[in-house]
Structures are given as C-alpha cells and as structure tokens.
Amino acid sequence: MKSVLEDRLTGLWATPHTITGWLSTVDHKEVAKRYLATAMGFLLLGGIEALIMRLQLMTANRSLLTPEMYNQIFTMHGVTMIFWYAAPILSGFANYLIPLMIGARDMAFPRLNAFTYWSFLLSGLFLYASPFTGQSPHGGWFAYTPYTNVRYSPDLGIDFFALALIFLTISTTAGAINFLATIFHLRAPGMSISKMPLFLYSTSTISASIIFSLPALTVACVFLELDRRWGTHFFEVAWGGAPLLWQQLFWFFGHPWVYVVFLPATGMISMLLPVFSRRPIVGYPYVAIATVLTGVVGFGVWVHHMFAVGMSHLGMSFFSAASMTISIFTAIQVFAWLATVWTGRPVPTAAFKFAMGFIALLVIGGLNGIVTAVIPLDWQLHDTYFVVSHLHYVLVGTNLFPVFAAFYYWIPKITGRMMSERLGAWSFWLMFAGLNLAFFPMHVLGVMGMTRRIYTYPEGLGWGGMNMAATVGAYTLAAGIFISLWNFAVSRKKGAVAGRNPWKADSLEWAIDSPPAPYGSVHIPTVESRHPLWDSHDEDDDPDGKRILDQGRLTLATTALDAEPQSVARMPQDTVTPLLLALAMTVFFTVLLFKALWLALASVITMLVVVAVWLWPEKEKRPV
Amino acid sequence: MSTISLHGLPPDVREHPPIVLKLDERRGTIGMWLFIATEGALFLMLFVAYFYLAKGGWNWPLEEPPKLRMALPMLAVLLISSAVLHWGEKKVEAHAHRKGRAALSGTILIGLIFLVMQVFEYRDHLKSLTPQTSVYGSIFYTLTSFHALHLIVGLCILAYVLILPDLEPTQRSPHRPYHNAAIYWHFVDFVWIWIVLFLYVSPHFR
C-alpha cells in the first residue's frame, strides 16, 4: 500500500531526467541545489579576487596589478560577495529547507521560484561579462557618485554594475514574495507562529526587509543609468542634482541588506545549535522577537554609513543611538545561544564548531562595530582598514561561518551522505585561524592610517609585517574552505549513508528520507509543538488518508497565524517559461547597455508573451 | 467565494476519501499584495527623491508650476476607470461574466484615453521643460513615465484577463484573475493621486 502511494506521488511530482526536464523543473529542491552550487561558485570567484588583492598588498610597492586593475578587482570582489554570494546562498538554504520544515510539497509559487534562480544566475553572468570587455565596474561596491558619473567613469563598467543590480533586484524581490507567501500560507496544520522553527522568523523578517528596502537600490541604479546614458541630472550639482541622494538611497537599502545576509544565518544557528546541545533553545520567544526587531530597527540606521559627509548633529545622534540599539537585539540572541550551550550537553561536531566560531566572530565584529557607531571615532576611522576589518568580521564571521555550519548540518539531508568530521575540524580551525590572522591586524593598520582601497603603499610606514600576516591569513582561510569542498566531493561517493535523522534533530525536514522524495512526505504532517520530532509526531497517523493529497500536484494551505487547514493548493507543472523569461530579460539588459531601443522593445514583447504562456490555465496532471 | 471540491474526478483516482476542503485561491492574491507593497515602496522612494532634490535644486521653487489643466481631468479619468472595474468585479462575483468582461473592456478603453492625454500633456510640457533641462525635469519625467509604464503593464494585465477562458477560480486555474488584476489597477490609480498632489498641486502653494 505504502509503495503504491509513493509511486503515485512520485509520478505526480518527479521531473523526468531529460534535458527538457532539467531546464523546466520547478521542484524547490532542485532549484535550491542549483542556488547553493551557483552561490558557492560566486564565493570562489570573489575569493580568488580577494587572494589576488592580498598578493598585491603582501609587501610594499608591489606591481602585480595596475591601479585601475586593482580598482576593478576590489569592486568585483565586493559586489560578488555581497550580492551574488551572501544573500543567494541563504536563499538556497531557505529554498531547500522551508517547504520541508513546514511540511509543504513546494514553495507557494514554484514557477516564480525557478525564475528567481535563473535570473539570479543570468544577472551574475551578465555582471561577469564585464571583465571580458575589459570594462568592469571600478567604483567600489557602493559606487558613489560623482565618481561613477559618466564624466569620470566613461566606459561601460558602471553600466554593467547598475543594470546587473537592477536585474538582480527583480530576482531577489520575487524570491522574497515567494518566501512570505510560503511561510504564511503553507505551514503544516498546527504549526502556529508560536511553534515555527526560528529559521522561518529570520527568513520572513528579511523577506519583508527586501520588499521595502530593495526598491531604493532599484531607484538609485535607475537614476544612475539615466544620468550616465540618457542625459538626466540626478546626481550632477551643476544642474541642481545631489550626489548625496545616491548615498541616501544606497544606504537606505544597504543597511537592511546587512541584516538580509545576517539574520537567516542566525536563524540557521538557532536551528542547529540546540540540536548539538541536546536541548531546546533557551528563550525562543525572545530570539524570535529580537530577530523581527533587528529587521525593523535595521531601517533606521542607514545614515551611520555616512557620518563623515557633514550632517546635522541631531540627525547623526539619532542614527548613532539607533545603531547602538541594534546591538541589544543581537546580544539577546548571543546570550540565548550561549545559555543553550551552557545548559545543554554539547556534541562538538564540525557544524557545532562552526557555530561556536560564528558566535566568537560575531562578538568581535559587533564590538568593533560599536566603535564605529561612536561618531568621533568613526570620523577618525572612516575609510581606513579598521572598517575593512569590521565588515569582514561581520560578513565572513556571520555569513560564511553559519553557512559552513549549515552545510555540515544539512548536506546529509540533501545528498544522503555524511561528510567527514575529521576534515570538518581541519577546515574549521584553518578557516578560524586564517580569518583572525587576516583581519585582526587590519584594526591596527586602520588606526595607523592605512586607508582602504589603496593599491599599494610605500616602505617605512611599519605596515609591512601586518600586511604579510593578512595575506598569509587569507590563504589559510582559502585552504580551510578548499578542505570543506573536497570533503563534500568525497562524501558524495564515500560518505556514510545518513538515514533520515542522523543528528536526532527536532524539525520536520528530518522526518523524511535523505535525500527527500520529490513530493517530500507521503502524508502532510501535523504539528503540536515546537519540536515535532522530539515530542509527539503523528505524520503517519492519518488512517483515512486525508492528508495524502494524491489527486494531482497538491499541498495543504493553512491560515497565516494559527495554521488551521484552510484549503488545498494546486501546484503548477514543470515548464520552461521561467528560464525563457530570464533569458529575455538578459537580452533586454544587454541591449540597454548599447541603447538599442528597438531590440529592447522586442525583448519586452517577448517577456509579455512568455508570461502569458506561463500563466495560462494548464491541463491537470492525473495520477498514473 | 466559489467552493470547489475535488469530488468531480473520475472514479479511478478516488480510492481515497475525496478532499472536502476547497481549492486554494488566495495565493495569487497574497502574491499580488506583496508585489504592490514593493511597488509602493518604489514610488515612495521616487517621491522622497523628488522632495530631497527640491530641497537643494537651484530652480526650485519653480517660476512656473506645472499646469493643472490636464492633470486633474486625467485624475478624473483614472478614478472613473477604477469605479468601472470595481463594478465589473461585483458583477463577476455575481457570476454575470458578460457584464464583467464589458467592464474590463471599458476600463482598458478609459486607460488608453488616459495614455493619450498623457501624450498631449507631455507635448505641452516638453515645450518648456525636458528631462535634460535640469534636475527638476529629470525627476518630473522619471516619476510620471514610471507611472505611465506601470499603467501600460496594468493595461496588459487587464487585456490578458479579458482573453482568459475563466474570470473566476476553476479547477484548472486556482487563482482569482479578475480580482488580482483589479487591485493592481487600483494601485496604479492610487499612485496618480499622489503624483497630482505632489508634482502638480503642491508647487502652487509655495
């Protein structure tokens, strides 16, 4: 009986192993794996750029790179890491895990999900077409005007930057809408918001942040592109424009974005740290509320990136105070994690080590962040290596380390194979030591006056030793990352078989096979507590088969707060239209680069036709 | 709201008790509201940019504020279009699909009239001001043309709903196309109200 059911569900949900199937799948697990692999690819690209820069800065007066090349490389490094690695890798995890954690069979909009991936990939490729033209962006990841105006940056580099980002905002916004609709509409019956896994709190918080903050980036990039190629004057003082408008818009988006790449990582830590401490998390409601408040107050701190531009003291004091308020919410989470470990029985797996390393780095990065939130100190340290150190502690420490913790924790679910703990320990210690060796000396370099973004420095300033240390540290960090990748590759073939729940974890994704069947679970699970697998769990307690839903691609829709069963959601079939739409958009942005308006119009019409086909009512797929 | 169960399926797929819950029709509407939220934020940013630039621009306050002669009738046109569409939605809910489609066609026609008026308004305006004249021209034309582009998208959506086989959720398509298109159209109209207030009316009171 069981296997007949499983065959029926597989027939409904599986994607055929053909090229068409591969291009048209809308399965969230397939999409998520691509997300993770692509984001890792961008991590490696950005990482190689960082290693090249560290070679250039290793000792004084090196000439590996010309100044212009150096500018392009640090810009591509920052843009790649912040936009095409840090957020997408978290979207990859969210994409894989959220439907499984809530017992749904897919995301709320599976086709939109496939489009989100394709447009993420293609916008990244669009950006990486720029080095092949020899005209990469060179204005830093925040591309301040007037330097990025066409007069000072005449080649296509900044156009690539602006158009690629507009393209990516479309993808990211679509993803945020999808996550919110999924989390608040498809949770398993009984999973009221007070019982949601904490990862869902962080993902829904950042999705809301994206919806309200990302348009600022879109508007800024549209203004920039109009100024550069279409003769408007938003940022040009001579015509009444305001260069500071760019900074205001960019940072209104930019600071919430910091939480976009941070909060889901904390959410993943809040999922896995309790599992390896063998107890529920301490202070679940406080962690949940702190997560949401971080997102909300994150909208009120953007000016702290701009303390050095000359503003009213009252305004600056407000933003300084708001910036310090955020540290309270972060501290709540940190103490909740520490208390969880302290009162639990820790199991020092590789994932646990990465999680603990993350807490240590977050504290360092948080404390040096408070230093820069103090305005007088900020004026001294602005645009020095102190800031470089701060932002790398925060971004590498609170994004990369949780991501690696998550890899060691969830890869067995994704591939069905365990990764080596011994290699994991090597990887962790190399990464942890390398990161500290690379970035701690930069605090001192910053105080000594080494400004960021210089391509070389003269001898005799006493900077040589610390720069050499930073370079050695960067390569050590890279070696640590490489060991984990190798560990992953080996585990695919030789790793021990994971089974359903190798870590004896508590959330629903561990109740099903590893790797999961295309449909997830045979019966839509029900939930009675925050830890369904630790407490009572009655996924199979469904004698009438009411929660099998095998009359088509179906999943259960529930109410937003209490998760009471409301209706049955019909999911769409596989289709190639999301890929076609993303391709048409790629053509659109490419021809805009060359101002070919007729071709742009043709691609827009193509997009409309593709969307019409995408949304057209489809024939139902019947069970076989 | 129409209740659709899966009772009507052929007997060979009915070895399990049939599902008694109705088909979900809210997802599309949730998605549309979230899309409108982010679009609203987009226009909010544009308005903020307008006032930010007004604070520092050398040609503000304007010597000659924009004329209301065209903008106010355009507002009336859009409000009428929303009213017509709303009436149509009520009719569709009462299963009067023919009237619903008539209202849809009417709304599209009124929307096209708005676009024609926009063209005349631009032609008049461009005599004294272009996007390249000053930063005021840049933000004025960017904001109004962004609105026009959204209106064109809205027209495409309405035209698409017009050719759809069903205006209400069905077994084949669980969404509420008429309703979702309508809330987007009302949103585009809503934005025009603020454009008139901020870009056309407020300069007269400086």
The 3-class SS string of A193-255 reads: HHHCCHHHHHHHHHHHHHHHHHHHHHHHHHHHHHHHHCCCCCCCHHHCCCHHHHHHHHHHHHH
Give me the tens of pLDDT residue by residue for chain B, a chain 206 residues long. 333 334 334 333 344 445 567 889 899 999 999 999 999 999 999 999 999 998 876 667 677 888 899 999 999 999 999 999 999 999 999 999 999 999 999 999 999 999 999 999 999 999 888 999 889 999 999 999 999 999 999 999 999 999 998 888 877 777 899 999 999 999 999 999 999 999 999 888 86
- CB A215 to CB B136 under 8 A? no
Is there a contact between A177 and B56 if contact means CB atoms under 8 Å apart?
A: no
- Cβ distance A212 to B38 less than 8 Å, yes or no, reads yes
Residues 90-149 of B with CB under 8 A from A: 131-132, 134-139, 142
Interchain proximity A240–B134, CB inside 8 Å: yes
| Phi, psi (rounded to 5 degrees) for A5 | -60, -45
Whether the per-residue pLDDT at A49 is higher than 80: the answer is: yes
Residue A501 is predicted with a pLDDT of: 94
Q: Please indicate whether, in this complex, the C-beta atoms of A567 and B45 are within 8 angstroms of each other.
A: no
- Contact check, Cβ <8 Å, A620/B172: yes
Confidence class of residue A604 from pLDDT cuts 50, 70 and 90?
Answer: very high
Give CA–CA dist A201/A459, Å, rounded. Answer: 51
Interface probe for A, chosen from B5, B27, B163 (most Cβ of A below 10 Å), is B27
Q: Which of A210-214, A616-620, B71-75 has the lowest mean pLDDT?
A: A616-620
| Domain-wise residue ranges, chain B | 11-60+67-205
Q: What is the mean pLDDT of residues A167-182?
A: 97
Contact A568/B24, CB-based, under 8 Å?
A: yes
Residue A281 has pLDDT above 80, yes or no: yes
Q: For residue A226, give how far its alpha carbon lies from the nearest alpha carbon of chain B (Å).
A: 9
Contact A200, A98 (CB under 8 A): yes
**Residue closest to B46 by CA, chosen among B124, B130, B123, B138:** B138
Which residues from chain A sit within 8 angstroms of residue B44, using beta carbons? Answer: 215
Q: Is B152 on the interface with A (CB under 8 A)?
A: no
- Contact between residue A181 and residue A28 where contact means Cβ atoms under 8 Å apart: no
pLDDT value of residue B61: 65
Contact B24 A569 (CB under 8 A): yes
- Name which of A176, A551, A608 is nearest B19 (Cβ-Cβ): A551
B47 CB neighbours in chain A (<8 A) are none
Cβ <8 Å between B164 and A623: no
Q: How far is A194 from chain B (nearest CA, A)?
A: 22
pLDDT attached to residue B52: 92
Average pLDDT, chain A: 93
Distance CA(B90)–CA(B96), nearest Å, equals 9
Q: Is the model's pTM score more than 0.90?
A: yes
pLDDT of residue A537: 63
Q: Which of A184, A219, A566 sits opposite B46 (nearest CB)?
A: A219
Tens digits of per-residue pLDDT, A522-539? 889 989 899 999 986 666
CB pair distance less than 8 Å for B166 and A617? yes
> Shortest CA distance to A102 belongs to which of A211, A203, A207?
A203
Provide the pLDDT confidence category of residue A309 given band limits of 50, 70 and 90.
confident
Length of chain B: 206
Whether B7 contacts chain A with CB within 8 A: no
- The reply to whether residue B22 touches residue A568, judged by beta carbons under 8 angstroms, is yes
- Which of A177, A215, A568 lies nearest to residue B19, judging by beta carbons? A568
Q: Which residues of B86-119 are buried (b: 16+ CB within 10 A; e: fewer)?
A: ebbbebbbeeeeeebbebbebbbebbebbeebbe
Q: Which of A25, A151, A50, A17 is nearest to A473 (CA)?
A: A50
How far apart, in Å, do the first and last CA atoms of chain B sit? 50
What DSSP string describes A443-457? HHHHHTT-BTT-S--
**Does the beta-carbon distance from B49 to A615 stay under 8 Å?**
no
Q: Which helix (H) or strand (E) holds A615?
A: helix A597-615
Query: Nearest by CB to A215, which of B25, B41, B131?
Result: B41
Which 8-state DSSP code applies to residue A520? B
A212: nearest CB among B13, B35, B41: B41
CATH class of B11-60+67-205: mainly alpha
Give A220-224's long-range contacts (Cβ < 8 A, gap of 24+): A220/A245, A220/A246, A220/A249, A220/A250, A220/A253, A221/A161, A221/A162, A221/A163, A221/A165, A221/A166, A221/A169, A222/A162, A222/A166, A222/B142, A223/A249, A223/B49, A223/B142, A224/A143, A224/A145, A224/A148, A224/A158, A224/A162
Structure confidence at residue B4 (pLDDT) = 34
| Interval A109-116 mean pLDDT | 97
- A552 vs B contacts (CB less than 8 Å): 6
**For A424-438, A607-621, B40-54, B57-71, which range has the lowest pLDDT when averaged over its residues?**
B57-71
| Predicted pLDDT of residue A2 | 63
Nearest to B52 among A232, A242, A557 (CB): A242
Q: Using CB atoms, pick whichever of B34, B56, B60 lies closest to residue A177.
A: B34
Is the pLDDT confidence value at A287 over 60? Answer: yes
pLDDT of residue B15: 44
Q: How far is B204 from chain A (nearest CA, A)?
A: 20
- B8 touching A (Cβ < 8 Å): no
Residues A330-377 pLDDT 10s:
999 999 999 999 999 999 999 999 999 999 999 998 888 878 877 888
Residue (of A120, A111, A110) closest to A90 by Cα position? A120
Chain pair A-B, CB pairs under 8 angstroms: 167
Please tell me which residue of chain B has the smallest CA distance to A110. Answer: B27
Rounded Cα–Cα distance for residues B146 and B160 (Å): 21
- The upper half-sphere exposure of residue A273, i.e. CA atoms within 13 Å in the direction of its Cβ, equals 31
The answer to whether B21 contacts chain A (CB < 8 Å) is: yes
Q: What pLDDT shows up at residue B3?
A: 34
